[in-house]
A and B are shown apart, each in its own frame.
Chain A
Amino acid sequence: MPRILIVDDESSIGTLYREEFEDEGYEVKTASSGEEALAALDSFKPDVVTLDIKMPGMDGIEVLRTIKEHHRKLPVILCTAYDEYKADFGSWACDAYVVKSSDLAELKQAVQRALKGSQA
């Protein structure tokens, strides 16, 4: 059962993602800040991470950089309301960039691809 770490400061989004991905058969853990997410990496050992960018405290780009420094192979999907960060060099390290939508089809596709890629 793949493990997915959802990082978003908006609790309702976290709840939505958790329920959706649990329905899809994932083991889900949510974190409401960058610091919390980094702390959960070692204990939870996710196979994939979805990461919001705009958050209080550490922002998603910073979290991404930290994750990639220590867990190079861990796929991270930036999932944000903004698409401008695509132009940010810091975002290039991510495995996918998905603009948030109430339809989670694109996000789910990206997660599946990422998992497939990391297994290959």
Chain B
Amino acid sequence: MADAAALLARVIEVSNSTTEIERRLEAIVRLLADELALDACAIFSLDRAKEQLTLRLLTGAPAPAEPLRVPVSGPGGGAGGLVGLAAARREPVVVGDTTAPWHDLADPCLGLPADWRVFASAAAVPIVDDTFSYGVLLALRREPGPLPDRDVRLLAIVTREIAGAIRNAQLYFEAKKMVGELTTLYEIGKACSSTLELNELLALIVRTSVKIIRARAAVLRLLDEASGELKVTADYGLLDVPGARDPIKVGEGIAGEVAVTGLPILVKDARNDPRVLDRGRQIVSSILCVPLTFKGRVIGTLSLFDKEGDASVRERGFDEDDRYLLSTMASQIANAIGNAVVFNRMETLARDLELKNRELSILYEVGQAMMTTIQRDRLLHTILTAVTIGDGLGFNRAFLFLHNEAEGTVDGILGVGPESAEEAGAVWHRLASERRTLGDLVRNEDFEVSLDTRLNRTVQSIRIPMTDESNVLVRTLLDKQGHNVPDARRDPGVPDWLADKLDLAAFATVPLLAKGRALGVILVDNRFNRRPITNEDLRFLLMFANQAGLAVESATLYRNLEIANREQRAMHQRLVQNEKLAALGEMAAQVAHEIRNPLVSIGGFARRLHKRIGEDSPDRVYTEIILKEVSRLERILNEILAFSKEHRSTAYEPQSLEAIVDSTLQMMAEAFKENGVRVVKRFDPGLPPIVCDGTQIRQVFVNLFNNAREAMGKGGTLTVRLTSADGRGLGPHLVAEVEDTGGGLAEPVMDHIFRPFYTTKESGTGLGLAIVKRIVQNHAGSIEVANRPGHGVTFILRLPLRPDQQASGETPAEPAAAVGGS
């Protein structure tokens, strides 16, 4: 027993060592053979199904060429011989003579190699613990006779120890596998929950499965339902052979079969398996392929090639454990992929949303830019810029046409875009390098807003009648819809001249809409990069055009408002001016009246004095000076009073213009004579009377005659013509022409002669002609000046017969502009 105890101690020591289970068993078997004087010793392992025993270890006998397997014997014996029987009974079977039948066994050595029959004595001891059977230990001796009971009991104890070692090893293996699976699941799970791209996830999956199962290479194929093909979407360690990544049809090859059946396939000897594709058969020894099933549907396959490890492991290839592990992984992987695909779709959706967002932000930015660009022309340019800037809609060129409602035409207004492919390249390069946003460009004043481009001139020469309803521009305006024209040359809506003019190939048009009204048309194309215009582009452009239309509408309203404001401001200024003049006139009138009486006395007595002094008296010079100055003062008084009287009501009555002119000439006859001015009257006979304020009209002629007289200080001819006429917006009217030969006016003077207080004379108030103009306006008439430099000036007055029937009170503020040369 001392021996037995020593042996057992050794066995326990070995079985608890940290070497691999195979090594430990080998050591134990050798130990037993030595101690128990066995000629040979073998260990068979029982498979998971407990149906078959496989020879694992052998010492003392030649190893069989083929792997040795024996079936577990049934209750009534069977094909397994004594080994199978021991496994079935979980009891030792001890045979003293292996050549003779033993109990139920006709041939105890059944299933064992023939050359093992040299061993006459055999004992098969099951390797069992209380619960499980692990295999059988076979002890063989050449010498006949059963193994002594003592040895058999010892073997039984030793096999229990072996069972423990195997169980531990199995547990260890299971644990390791579990850890491996957990690691895989963890990694895959991590990949799934992270925001990995699908492609990254698949790459991770193949890498991980290769690592865990220990294979040379892996291929993940996903099923493309549209084409019915399995497409390689990720691979790892694949040899670089032609066709390795070609898609395969469902049903074709191992993966194809797995995709059809949804069941894993384990190919231990790929070289001789007809199911394996030719190209794989030449280079692959073993294949493990599992389906990827998501929600009951096969979405792809995962294939591993060539088990890695030491020589024997490589030889055995993948086993059931690998299949089991990979299948477990595959279910996780499939879920991950499925989710990722869903996520991918979500992401596509999100991208669409983002695109929408981008569109909206562009619209917002353009809107902002347009809001700050009230000036209409600049706004129009902004719109086209937005259409062509890469940041915006990114078309190569854009043209704007507006509906000219007055003329019933569609008119070309603006064109934006490079004029040639070279220029396009340069511009785009510059924009890309400057990285300016649309807002920057629109806001930036130095951005070429030059309207004097060839493109603009070309566009502006285009004018299409609205009656030409086949024309695509007119059609766009009428149906208020976008039109995508892929080939301008073949489209009946595009006349050749238009295609030639704008060099059109493929283009699109959209209406510029404002509150349902089509203001115009935007035409875009990608002349230089030839990018096709998609419906998406068109949709966005329509949206943009809507926005732009509103901005144009606003700008138009704003412009009208501005014009109204400007007119109001001018009106206000005129009113203020009138108020000032009225106040001035009021004051001047008071002063004038106070001055007039003493002036009459001074002048009157000076005149008397003058007459009394003898013709040859030297004192005459003094009285002459007094008289001249007094009459000058009186003239100023009259002018001031006449001017200040403007705002007061006047009495209109039918008068004879000839009589007024006549009496005025008569009154001034003496003055003309003094200056050596000859007066010529050319009055048409039978002139009708005109309704007027005689005093005012008389003042007009007084002023005009005075002007003429002063212009002709050294003599000349004053010609006064009176004729009747009709038209010129005045209806029937009289024309009075006052012509002098005083040499004419200098051009700069011409611009100012009707302005109050403007004068070229040393004496005078500068009110004369201002009063004339005012009075003529009050009579709803007009006045022109014909200047003949070097000769003289002709004032041409037109006075309506019935000023009350003219819009006299509403005469525009700056009639001077309407009165000829003033």
Contacts and interface: CB of A to CB of B under 8 A. Distances in A.
A97 to B, nearest CB: 9
B360 interface: no
B597 to A, nearest CB: 5
Given A10-B601, A12-B601, A83-B695, A105 B593 contact: no
Contact of B597 (A10, A86, A87, A104): A10
A106 B601 CA distance: 16
A16 B695 contact: no
A102 B604 contact: yes
Interface in B655-669: 667
A101 B630 CA distance: 10
A106 B668 CA distance: 11
Contact of A87 (B593, B596, B600, B648): B648
B605 interface: yes
A11 B604 CA distance: 13
A89 B738 CA distance: 34
A13 B601 contact: yes
B601 A87 contact: no
Contact of B631 (A84, A86, A99, A102): A102
Residue of B601, B606, B627 most packed against chain A (CB within 10 A): B601
Nearest to B630: A102
A13 B600 contact: yes
A10 B128 CA distance: 162
Given A20-B608, A102-B634, A13 B648 contact: no
Contacts of B371: none
B634 A82 contact: no
Secondary structure type dominating chain B contacts: helix
A50 to B, nearest CB: 12
A19 interface: yes
B360 to A, nearest CB: 72
Interface string B631-646: 1001000100100010
Contacts of A105: 667, 670
A100 interface: yes
Residue of A81, A83, A104, A105 most packed against chain B (CB within 10 A): A81
Interface residues of B, number: 29
Interface in B591-616: 592-593, 596-608
A103 interface: yes
Contacts of B312: none
Residue of B600, B645, B667 most packed against chain A (CB within 10 A): B600
B406 interface: no
Interface in A83-120: 83-84, 86-87, 99-106
Contact of A16 (B600, B630, B648, B649): B600
A106 B651 contact: no
Interface in A15-49: 16-17, 19-20, 23
Given A10-B597, A102-B634, A106-B667, A16 B605 contact: yes
Interface string B200-224: 0000000000000000000000000
A87 B649 contact: yes
Residue of A10, A13, A101, A102 most packed against chain B (CB within 10 A): A102
A3 B240 CA distance: 145
Contact of B651 (A13, A19, A86, A100): A86
A100 B596 contact: yes
Contacts of A102: 599-604, 606-607, 627, 630-631, 634
Nearest to A14: B601
A19 B599 CA distance: 17
Contacts of B695: 83, 86
A19 B650 CA distance: 36
Nearest to A106: B667
B525 to A, nearest CB: 74
Contact of A103 (B605, B631, B649, B651): B631
A100 B600 contact: yes
Interface string B569-599: 0000000000000000000000011001111
B146 to A, nearest CB: 167
Contacts of B597: 10, 13, 81, 100
Contacts of B608: 16, 19-20, 23
Contacts of A103: 603, 607, 631, 634
Nearest to B592: A81
Nearest to B650: A87
B648 A101 contact: no
Nearest to A10: B597
B601 to A, nearest CB: 4
Nearest to A81: B596
Contacts of B651: 86-87
A104 B667 CA distance: 11
Interface in B180-211: none
Nearest to B667: A106
Interface in A24-81: 81
B631 A82 contact: no
Contact of A84 (B596, B607, B645): B645
A100 to B, nearest CB: 5
Contacts of B631: 102-103
A84 B651 CA distance: 11
Contacts of A23: 608
A82 B605 contact: no
Contacts of B592: 81
Contact of B604 (A16, A82, A84): A16
A25 B630 CA distance: 26
A7 to B, nearest CB: 14
B488 to A, nearest CB: 76
A84 B648 contact: yes
Interface of B: 592-593, 596-608, 627, 630-631, 634, 638, 641, 645, 648-651, 667, 670, 695
The 7 closest A-B pairs by CB, nearest first: A102-B603, A16-B604, A81-B596, A12-B601, A100-B600, A81-B593, A102-B604
10 contacts: A13-B600, A13-B604, A16-B605, A17-B604, A87-B648, A101-B634, A102-B602, A103-B603, A103-B634, A106-B667
